[in-house]
A and B are shown apart, each in its own frame.
Chain A
């Protein structure tokens, strides 16, 4: 299947930059596109805060964010709208980077936390906690995130070990992920059958991925964990590039690929777990964001920073659409599924049509 992200032949030669002991390849378009994406994400973030039951104009929003706003605006923005937008931003970044990592490691465009069963596992444990506690946990700030994180991590490890066979092969990883995902979904369905109908309604809304009524507590917990993970990822990802040439080349270049891969995969699973614990299993962002970013920035593999930014852009815009265009305050996951389902199919069809005989 030619959906692997390794395609170095299209890469042009670039000049190098050296600062002290560090060196990078200077890619003007990559830097420019990343900066553009950052600006666009910030703008949509501000627009998302500006639009609501009553609309605040954009300059006022930006003034308020930087602490220069009027008191009324400050209340609406900082207390009511900011947490939701920030959770969207953090979750988007976490999912985007998580997807970029899993796709790079599996060397397959289709290996995302949704397909690998990680989000399904996080959902199953979260729903277990919700239904057995009679819904009490949904309001609390600790139980649900911890359960989702533990479930995501447990499932990620399970998939990894089940797919391990003298190494990790992307094809096997995905199929094992699909089957583990099915088990987790079956368990979730069973929990929903047993539960009280009021808990079911709450759980179901959460299950599709939602940013509704988030508070600063969710922002802080997810923010710190995400920042810590992103720092680790960026530090280790220096070793990721040689791995795209295959395990043997990477080993020849001095990369301890099994360690690097394990650390990055762990970070990817934890990032997905944090995202699920903050917003529920928002579908497809982790799959779509890295793929679009890769095409946008003309890189052979999904760029990490860009994928994170695009994930945030995608999630915040989807939330805006969910709030303003769709009826009845539908959760954001509905919009990402509407975008992501067809996109997945597009990827498959394109990969098939391009496939050499």
Chain B
């Protein structure tokens, strides 16, 4: 059984809470305190059924109270798959929360109100999904019950969205007409829309291919920790502990240590009492090398035949996440895998208007939730991949050393020569 992590992009008005509530309720994944809340609540839908939006009301209450709105994680499973939902708010002032939620997702559900079609926030959510390079998108055209389950309405919205998807380069997009309120095409099919012959949302989530980068081209292993027992019987034991972030490694592979550039051969891959011939993306292991090289936390082992970029001047997309604006004269910290080094944002190339998808020149101030393209200079070189090709080795965060807060998310794009 596999785990699918997905994010739901939409606002309360689109019926997002009802959709998530429906998924959780119809798969019996409701926490006891929420269940009580539902059954004790006087809130009912017009037809007397229980209001499933209560399940995800946490976010609504927060908005009313003005406390930080946040990503909430929810868990459910079926016989075929386990699911983790990153439930992030959809309003523009919570862009950073959606970026956070999307960073760990394999799939995004984008909700569109059948009465409204593609609107500004659809642009915004889709832009973020493409920026964070989510491999799969599901467009749920919701509230089909409000448009008489009309096939033409659905088809028009699909056509609208295809233009947007083309513009953003979104490749795997699936369109489903749903009514979260009535349950049509969420978990079960729909008798109201016989013209739709595709899968229900849950069926799709259960069967969609979860992409894993297992190419040898992206074999990357950031070293987190060096295991050196230094006991008498294990005097010469030296294992490099970490997690294969992408690609795969085999015993006898020739690997290069970056940024130093020394090479060696893998002699053993192990974990406690297990030995492996091969370690795949996502696996935490301990790797042994033939030669005694000086390797420590912050270094990365890569397949010698397919090396990443190594540079200290990098063009990147930046999402700013702090209430204090970016200061281009200040030195920040950058964390990329297990490496932390100092950095400065050297140049702002342009910003994105994330509602219209236009580039904005001449406005260099990065405020909370702003997204744009910049050039960053790092104190030590980073061994990185282009984020769109390899998320695991192309993402980084910026930390303000005055507050220690994470203030920015970076999608690395290219070394600047």
A binds B: no
